[in-house]
Structure 1
Amino acid sequence: MAESRNEPADPIVRGTFATAKQSWADLFKWKQRVAVTNDYGETYCEWQSPRPLRNPISLFAQLSARDWLFFLVGLAAWTADAFDFHALSIQTVKLAKYYDTSKTNVTTAITLTLLLRSIGAAMFGLAGDKFGRKYPMVVNMIVLGLLQVATIYSSTFTQFLAVRSLFGLFMGGVYGNAIAMALENCPVDARGLMSGILQQGYSLGYVIAASCNLGVGGSTDSWKTVFWIGTGLSIGVGLIRLLFPESKQFIAAKEAGGGHTSSSPRAFWIETRKMLAQQWRMCIYCIILMTFFNYFSHTSQDSYTTFMLTQKELNNAAASRASIIMKTGACVGGTIIGYISQWFGRRRAIIVSAIVSGLLIPAWILPTTERSLSATGFFMQFFVQGAWGVIPIHLNELSPPAYRSSFPGITYQLGNMISSPSAQIVNAIAEHRTVTAVDGQPAPAYGPTMGVATAIIALGIAVTTALGPERRGRQFELAKPAGVATADEIEVKGKLNDVESQVAVDGEKPDVGQMENVIVDDDDDDDEKKR
């Protein structure tokens, strides 16, 4: 490795307050503090200038056909997951009529779904880190489709809630495996752009669900047709994923060390406990950040269709059209701001987006016509989901390298769990307050409730992000999976086990020199190989 010409930087600090202080100071420096490891395994920090923005077409060209395949299937899985979630939230009014209950009670299903997603994230995320990205995702998507069918055939509201609870368990497993598979196969320079596109699978799922809702009309039973479409999407993605191989980065990492590896559940959990002991501050920080982000999206969107139907007196078709345009803005904003974050910085992109979204709140909730609500909704979600567009790659870069499937998924879904009452809170407050609707009659105060909540959350995101770390440009592609030992490590452990076995037979203490010779002999073998 050639000697670096970059200016040396102080090491990345440890500790909560020290990290916050260093992160705040680094926010106002254009250069990025980067940890670099040389060919001798020595790690040091230096200031690196951000690479200039490249033509998006040239970034797309860096991805091979195989890379695109992994990315598109990851995007499809995340889109199908979002469709399944939004199929409920945009049809709250229909479901309330179908089950003869209140809209607030229907949002209980959203709360239960969000509560249980963290358990699914842990189950399928750890499976993805241990066994690979492929089969956990296949099982996940097919079961999601079957649970959509079970939702359609729920004859009582109690059955409906039970199925949606189980549905949330399997929904939680999608995000971590999808973004790990999609982004770990992308070249470093393209990750900001691809992260922005990938995250908008969430908004794309909303757009498709809203378009389906518009197409089936406003009759009470039409919600079932939307859920049948979700069934086809989920099962289809699972079957497509079954047709192509494991993520190349996972295979390459597992084969590091000459192609001979060993893995056991015990080794995996030992390494996992070690990671948690070392990285618990990072875990807590990412959970807090994801809690704010999930409140941000759910508060600004889950009740927005209801807001347009009740307070603004739009019909089902007009409200659906406005929702589609609003989420189109989210897709555009997430892509553009995710792309810019590669140059502007992950944290700066998030902070600016959150602040601008807060400033747009009056224009977002005060208009009364479909056109004006569509336009302001477009720009509001441009910046809400613009901040979100940075999150997939930001979480991947903050993750312990061997846990790129479980860490983002679990922290994201734990944030989802904590924010799970958001729709219920907004609905409950709005339905107990009234404002004057377009026709002059009292109506639930959805607009003011969503506006105040979103402003508070946007400020929380800006502050939390400003005080947190950033690892833009981090190299993590070939980190071996957790619990996997290389051939050299296996050989050393075998020699140590032989010594311990002899002790058990002879009943004598092992000679320290003998133990040392095991390690020395192993090192000598390595030196001989190098020579």
Structure 2
Amino acid sequence: MAPYFLRNLIPQREQRESARPLLTVLAGLTWVQWAHFFSGYVPKPFLVVPPRNRPAKSSRTGFLLAIQASGWLAWTCDAIDFFSVSLSISHLEDEFNKEASEITTAITLTLLFRSVGAVVFGITSDRFGRKWPLIANMVLIAVLQLGAGFVQTFKQFLALRSLFGIAMGGVWGLAASTALENLPVEARGLASGVLQQGYAVGYLLAAVINLTLVPEVPAGWRALFWTASGISLFAAGVRALLPESAVFLRAKAAERARGTTTGNKTRIFLHETKEMLKRHWLLCIYAVLLMTGFNFLSHGSQDLYPTYLQQSKGISAHNATVATIIGNCGAIAGGAIAGWVSQYIGRRLTIILFVVLIGAFIPLWIIPSTFGGLAAGAFCIQFGVQGAWGVIPIQLAEMSPPAFRATFPGVAYQLGNMVSSASAQIEATGGENLRTTIIKNGVPTDVPDYATVQGILIGVVAAFVIIITIIGPEKHGSHFEKHKTAFEEGGGADAIAEEEQSREDSAGSRVGSLNEKDDAEKV
């Protein structure tokens, strides 16, 4: 018989007796509810709704979408802030008189320190709630991003980006848990893809700002950092207007009813964290390996991309930015489609299919020399990369110990970031050592061969991601929102066991019913 991970590659069809089809859910939304989704406004009656006076499902869905929108906006700001450096490498080279491989040290340091933020803000969120840790996160990001625009030396810039990495590290776990735990199961696949592509939208917005604002103002590259700071502060304000996650409100209400004190909650939280690590240490290692591969895919195909087009292909800075925008359009499309598809064919199989697309499009990504060919390659490669990434928020949320679905995904994601933090430096150093010749202004010119280095790196990483995805677990359609929180007894170690036991009990009851039926027929 085939191993379980292969038999489980295509999950059984979800039980849909009480679930609505996705199109029905979306069709039931009014224009007001769509406005709630994009504006982040939530009417006061939706904060706490007594069971007898619960609003219609469509109204409640509008509220849930508003909560998800706040997570999406935070993740979008994360991307704008991060890619400010990638889009400014050539300007930073001139500003600080450094090579590209030295400037990318800032990217490496940001990625290295993000795991610290993931631990601090993830634990705080699982213990105290989603709302205020995320607000603090975004305010701190805004302050540090603003400061980066005022630095005068390269050492100051590296110091700010290192601190910035700590603040950025908490965003993804908090944003993903906020968005997914408040949505119906049937909408989580599509929501996962839309949420993750806040990253691509952020990169796209940063590219647009770099294309239109930076060349027109005396501040130059600094204007990109200041604008990104203002957008992050706006996101913090939007989140402040929204209520706490409904799942957390219910858990806190239940704890107050039982008379549990704050001191007891902290003691229980620490105990359950220890129990979770004892029981799920192998799952933790697997998640870090998975996210290492995924972060090599994204950072290896994005961080040095504008520099690659300008230096290895002779494309102008303006056209390099336009190609980056086109690539992110492919990313947005791929993420949404993959998230939706994963709801029907499974999370891991969707990831594998989109990573195969990455391998198929590598030649189109690195071989052309014209703007049209390179832009098409950017669209296709990011369709595959961010399509696979679009499944990750829901895949990690479902496979996580349910009580730690902010800490576990966030820390795994940022530890993978830490391992892959040198991807831009690897490509920059490799390209500078591996040279090629292009015709620039009618003259043969010796340039770094970033194309070959990126093609080899992404090809190897894609193969690794396929293997690690195949052998991994999948809990497709898991109702993780029904489990205990991390400050409740049994939240850390017993949640998975309870779910498995309930399945066994259900199977046993079915067998018992069949036996009773047989006995009755015999009588």
Cα 1:217/1:268, change in 2 over 3 Å: closer
Matched, 1:473 2:441: no
Distance, in Å, in 1 between the alignment partners of 2:27 and 2:188 is: 9
Give the deviation of 1:221 after TM superposition. 4.8
Contact 1:200 1:334 in 2 (8 A): yes
Contact 2:214 2:221 in 1 (8 A): no
Match of 2:6 in 1: 24
Question: Paired residue for 1:173, among 170, 186, 189?
Answer: 170
Letter of the aligned partner of 1:252 in structure 2?
Answer: R
Distance, in Å, in 1 between the alignment partners of 2:259 and 2:84 is: 44
Give the deviation of 1:66 after TM superposition. 1.4
Deviations 1:418-463 (A, max 9, x none): 1001110110000111112243322101001000100000010000
Distance, in Å, in 2 between the alignment partners of 1:366 and 1:56 is: 44
Letter of the aligned partner of 2:391 in structure 1?
Answer: V
Distance, in Å, in 2 between the alignment partners of 1:345 and 1:52 is: 18
Distance, in Å, in 2 between the alignment partners of 1:132 and 1:217 is: 38
Distance, in Å, in 1 between the alignment partners of 2:418 and 2:347 is: 24
Question: Paired residue for 1:83, among 74, 80, 85?
Answer: 80
Residue correspondence of structure 1 range 320-331 to structure 2 within 5 A: 320-331=321-332
Residue correspondence of structure 1 range 48-447 to structure 2 within 5 A: 54-55=22-23, 58=26, 61=29, 64-218=61-215, 221-256=219-254, 259-260=257-258, 262=260, 263-439=264-440, 440-447=444-451
Give the deviation of 1:261 after TM superposition. 5.2
Deviations 1:82-139 (A, max 9, x none): 1000011111111111111111111000000000000100000000000000110111
Cα 1:438/1:384, change in 2 over 3 Å: farther
Cα 1:292/1:59, change in 2 over 3 Å: farther
Match of 1:461 in 2: 465
Distance, in Å, in 1 between the alignment partners of 2:223 and 2:136 is: 24
The count of corresponding residues between Structure 1 and Structure 2 is: 453
Distance, in Å, in 2 between the alignment partners of 1:148 and 1:400 is: 33
Give the deviation of 1:272 after TM superposition. 0.1
TM-score normalised by the chain length of structure 2: 0.83
- Secondary structure of 1:441's aligned partner: strand
- Secondary structure of 1:442's aligned partner: strand
Structure 1: where are the runs of 5+ without partners?
1-9, 11-19, 35-46, 487-531
- Secondary structure of 1:420's aligned partner: coil
Moved more, 259-268 or 57-66: 57-66
Distance, in Å, in 2 between the alignment partners of 1:476 and 1:126 is: 18
Distance, in Å, in 1 between the alignment partners of 2:28 and 2:291 is: 28
- Secondary structure of 2:454's aligned partner: helix
Distance, in Å, in 2 between the alignment partners of 1:217 and 1:83 is: 14
Contact 2:8 2:474 in 1 (8 A): no
Contact 1:351 1:387 in 2 (8 A): yes
Letter of the aligned partner of 2:368 in structure 1?
Answer: P
Give the deviation of 1:480 after TM superposition. 2.5
Cα 1:428/1:355, change in 2 over 3 Å: same
Distance, in Å, in 1 between the alignment partners of 2:266 and 2:11 is: 44
Distance, in Å, in 1 between the alignment partners of 2:336 and 2:63 is: 21
Give the deviation of 1:278 after TM superposition. 0.3
Give the deviation of 1:222 after TM superposition. 1.2
Deviations 1:26-47 (A, max 9, x none): 22x5636x9xxxxxxxxxxxx9
Distance, in Å, in 1 between the alignment partners of 2:27 and 2:482 is: 21
Contact 1:151 1:160 in 2 (8 A): yes
Match of 2:517 in 1: none
Deviations 1:327-367 (A, max 9, x none): 11001100011110000110000001111111110011111
Letter of the aligned partner of 1:461 in structure 2?
Answer: V
Contact 2:189 2:340 in 1 (8 A): yes
Match of 1:504 in 2: none
Match of 1:483 in 2: 487
Larger radius of gyration: 1
Moved more, 62-71 or 204-213: 62-71
TM-score normalised by the chain length of structure 1: 0.82
Match of 1:40 in 2: none
Letter of the aligned partner of 2:26 in structure 1?
Answer: S
Give the deviation of 1:25 after TM superposition. 3.1
Higher helix share: 2
Distance, in Å, in 2 between the alignment partners of 1:331 and 1:52 is: 25
Cα 1:100/1:312, change in 2 over 3 Å: same
Percent of residue pairs identical: 42
Distance, in Å, in 2 between the alignment partners of 1:60 and 1:395 is: 29
Distance, in Å, in 2 between the alignment partners of 1:57 and 1:253 is: 26
Distance, in Å, in 1 between the alignment partners of 2:358 and 2:187 is: 26
Cα 1:180/1:30, change in 2 over 3 Å: closer
Give the deviation of 1:240 after TM superposition. 1.7
Contact 1:218 1:316 in 2 (8 A): no
Match of 1:517 in 2: none
Distance, in Å, in 1 between the alignment partners of 2:451 and 2:341 is: 31
Letter of the aligned partner of 1:55 in structure 2?
Answer: L
Contact 1:340 1:349 in 2 (8 A): yes
Distance, in Å, in 1 between the alignment partners of 2:344 and 2:20 is: 6
Distance, in Å, in 2 between the alignment partners of 1:184 and 1:222 is: 41
